[in-house]
């Protein structure tokens, strides 16, 4: 999704959500450029070879730096994978927090909720290899900052739509339909298409919000 040409003011949900940690504002310009260079090199390697083949040695070689530089910047391979996920999550967050409706502000809560599922599914399909590889390294998959943002977003939309009861459970139910491993399983093992998964999202939202 193409971001708007002019930055939109933060909506109440964007201010209330807990976004991914921002880059260190005290980071030197050359350090920031080096970090971006390493991430570009890693992303290109994943595009060519798959995330499962990503190594710190390969990233260092592709970026033209010593392996120690990569370790100092990201800590380990898991840190590098999550830095790459941070990057792609920021793009998705911009779309639902600041982008055009119906995904972004400006539409009613239920149309936005309807739009969120297909948008997330398309995002997963574009980045599935990275998500699946990073998930193998995760020790706290339900407490990652990016997941907290998505959960807060859906919970706020359910609340604004007038739903009551256990909104946390309803939120987790909706998020479960967008879990990378689940989406991959449905696509590869159950023979579902992306269109079928999007239709399933709409059906799930309709059932949850039926008594709204």
- Span 29-75: which CATH code? 1.10.10.60
Of the candidates 110, 119, 126, the one whose C-alpha atom is nearest the C-alpha of residue 198 is 119
Per DSSP, the residues of 55-109 read: -HHHHHHHHTS-HHHHHHHHSSHHHHHHHHHHHHHHHHHHHHHHS-TTTSBTB-H
Per-residue pLDDT for the chain (212 aa), expressed as one digit of tens each? 333 333 344 454 444 444 544 455 556 777 788 899 999 999 999 999 999 999 999 999 999 999 999 999 999 998 999 999 999 999 999 999 999 999 999 999 999 999 999 999 999 999 999 988 887 755 566 778 888 999 999 999 999 999 999 999 999 999 999 999 899 999 999 999 999 999 999 999 999 988 65
Is the domain spanning 76-212 CATH 1.10.357? The answer is yes
pTM beyond 0.85: the answer is no
In eight-state DSSP terms, residue 211 is: T
Per-residue pLDDT, 6: 38
User: Is the CB of residue 58 less than 8 Å from the CB of residue 45?
Assistant: yes
**Quick check: do 29-75 and 76-212 share a fold?**
no
Domain positions in the chain are: 29-75, 76-212
SS3 content of the chain, % helix, strand, coil (to 5): 70, 0, 30
């Amino acid at each position: 999704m193409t971001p708007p040409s002019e930055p939109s003011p933060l909506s109440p949900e964007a201010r209330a959500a807990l976004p991914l940690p921002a880059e260190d504002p005290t980071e030197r310009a050359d350090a920031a450029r080096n970090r971006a260079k390493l991430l570009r090199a890693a992303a290109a390697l994943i595009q060519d070879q798959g995330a499962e083949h990503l190594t710190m040695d390969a990233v260092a070689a592709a970026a033209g730096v010593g392996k120690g530089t990569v370790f100092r910047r990201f800590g380990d391979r898991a840190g590098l994978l999550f830095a790459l996920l941070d990057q792609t999550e920021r793009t998705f967050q911009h779309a639902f927090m600041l982008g055009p409706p119906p995904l972004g502000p400006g539409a009613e809560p239920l149309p936005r909720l309807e739009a969120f599922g297909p948008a997330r599914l398309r995002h997963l399909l574009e980045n599935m290899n990275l998500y699946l590889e990073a998930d193998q390294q995760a020790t706290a998959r339900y407490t990652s900052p990016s997941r907290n943002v998505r959960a807060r977003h859906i919970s706020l939309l359910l609340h604004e739509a007038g739903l009551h009861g256990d909104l946390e459970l309803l939120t987790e139910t909706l998020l479960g339909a967008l879990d990378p491993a689940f989406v991959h399983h449905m696509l590869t093992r159950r023979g579902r298409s992306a269109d079928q998964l999007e239709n399933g999202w709409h059906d799930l939202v309709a059932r949850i919000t039926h008594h709204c």
